[in-house]
Amino acid sequence: MNLTPPLDPSFQPPILAWRAHQRTATVPLVVALERERGLISRYETRVNPAWPAAVRDVERVVKFLLWARGGWRLYLDGPRGLCEQVQVRSFDAELMRRVYERPLEIVRGAAPPAQEAGQAVAGHRHGCRLGFDLGASDYKVAAVRDGEPVFTAEFPWDPCNQPDPDYHYRRLNEGLRAAAQHLPRVDAIGGSTAGVVVENRIMVASLFRAVLPEKFAAAQNMFLRLRDEWQVPVAVANDGDVTALAFGDHAVLGVAMGSSEAAGFMDGAGRIRGWLNELAFAPVDFNPAAAADEWSGDRGVGALYFSQQAVNKLLPAAGIELPATMGLPERLQAVQGLMAAGDVRAARIYETIGVYLGYTIPWYAEFYDYRHLLVLGRVTTGVGGELLVAQARKVLAEEFPEITVQLHVPDEKSRRHGQAVAAASLPEIKQ
C-alpha cells in the first residue's frame, strides 16, 4: 500500500492480495451459485493451487460471492485438491438456509452455465405515496406527491433489542400516519429495509434479532399486514437496492453507511438482479487479526469498515474516550461534533474509513460491473463525510488509475432521506 489508513496500519486490502495471486494464476476456477427458481450466478477466474495463501484467497472469494449473489447450492469447479480444502463458515451456511429455506449444498465438480434474471426498475412517480427506510437506530418516512417529497422526517427507535414484533409494526405505523397528514390521500406505500427481503417478506434481518423464534413469522409478515390495514399496494425492497434506485442511473453500486453497511446493484441495463448484495458480511480486509463482527464472528467484513460500527471500532486508536453507556448513533454524533470543531482525532477516523473505501472500490469491481458508486448514509454526513470521500478518491487516483468508477455523494438531505423518497416509488398503482 502506498496509502495506509492512519488508525489501522495492519489493514490488508483484498484487492492487492488477489492481484498478486492472479499474476501467477493459470488454472481455471468457476464458482457458481444456484438460488430460487433455478437461477444461477457464475464467476470465472484463474488460481494458482501452489500459491501460499490459495485456500485463504479462494475461501474469501467464495464468501464474498455468497453474500453478494446468494444461493443454496454452491459449485466449486477447479483444481480438485484446492476445492476440497475450501470450506464455508457455519454462520454463512445457516443464513443461506434461512434465506432460501433449504440447506446449503456444496458441489465440488462441473458448474452449470449461468441463468440470470433481472427486473427492470423504472420508479413510479404518480399519485400520493408514503415511503419509509428502516435502520437500526432510526427510521425515515417521506410523503411524496407526484414524485416530489412534501414531507420527510426521521424517528429514533430501538428495533434490535425488541422481542415483540408488535413494537416494530406499531412504531413504523406511527411514522407513516404522521407523514400521511401531509397528503390528501395515500395511494401506495413503498419501503426500504435492512435485511433480506423476498416478495415483501423479511427472511433475515438484524432489526429483528431479538424477536423470539415463535414470533418471527409476525415480524416477517409485517409489510403484508401494512398492506391489509392501509388497503393500498405495498412494495418493500432491500435498502441497498433502493440506494441504487435513488441514484437514477444504470451500472450503479450503492453503498449506505448507516448502522451497518447496506448495498445494492443496478446493472448496465437498469435491472436489479435479485442478488443478496449483503456486503456487510463480505470480506474487505485480509488481516487475520482484524476486528470480528459481533453477529457473524468473522473478521474483516464490511460492517466494521463502512458503518457506525467502523467509527466505534476506531475510537480507541484515535484516542477518543466516550461513555460506555453511549450507543452507536450517539457515538457517531459525538465524533461528528468533534470533526466540526476541527478535532484532528476525529479527522483521522474519517481518513481511515476513506482509505478503506478507496482500496475496496476495485475489490468490489472484481464482482460487480459498475460505473458509478453512490455513497450515502449517516456516516457520510457533514465535513467528515467530505473528507472520507476525498481520501477514497485520492487512493483511486494514486493506486488504481485504471479504475474508472465515479464516486457520487448526494446532497445532505438526500443522504438522510433519499432512500425513503426513492422507496415511495416502488409500488405500482394500478388504474
200-233 pLDDT, tens digit per residue, is 888 888 788 899 888 988 888 999 999 999 999 9
Q: What is the mean pLDDT of the chain?
A: 92
State the Cα–Cα distance between residues 347 and 224, nearest whole angstrom.
44
Q: Do domains 119-242 and 247-419 have the same CATH topology?
A: yes
pLDDT digits (tens, 9 = 90+) for 349-360: 999 999 999 999
pLDDT digits (tens, 9 = 90+) for 231-287: 999 999 887 778 777 776 789 998 989 888 988 888 888 777 878 899 999 999 999
pLDDT of residue 28: 98
What is the architecture, at CATH level 2, of domain 247-419? 2-Layer Sandwich (3.30)
Nearest alpha carbon to residue 38 among 117, 92, 95, 107: 117
Q: C-alpha distances in angstroms, 69 versus 1, 226, 269, 274?
A: 29, 29, 18, 8
What are the residue ranges in the chain where pLDDT is below 50? none
SS3 204: strand
pLDDT of residue 413: 56
In which order are the strands placed within the sheet that holds 73-77? 40-47, 27-34, 73-77, 105-108
SS3 292: strand
- Tell me the three cell numbers of residue 151: 414531507
Nearest alpha carbon to residue 172 among 184, 149, 156, 148: 156
- Tell me the three cell numbers of residue 92: 454463512
Q: C-alpha distances in angstroms, 25 versus 19, 60, 63, 64, 405?
A: 10, 16, 20, 19, 26
Q: C-alpha distances in angstroms, 360 versus 14, 33, 54?
A: 8, 23, 20
Domain boundaries along the sequence of the chain: 14-108, 119-242, 247-419
State the Cα–Cα distance between residues 187 and 424, nearest whole angstrom.
10
Assigned CATH class of 119-242: alpha beta
pLDDT of residue 411: 67
- Tell me the three cell numbers of residue 128: 400520493
- Tell me the three cell numbers of residue 70: 446468494
Q: C-alpha distances in angstroms, 178 versus 90, 138, 174, 379, 420?
A: 43, 15, 6, 26, 14
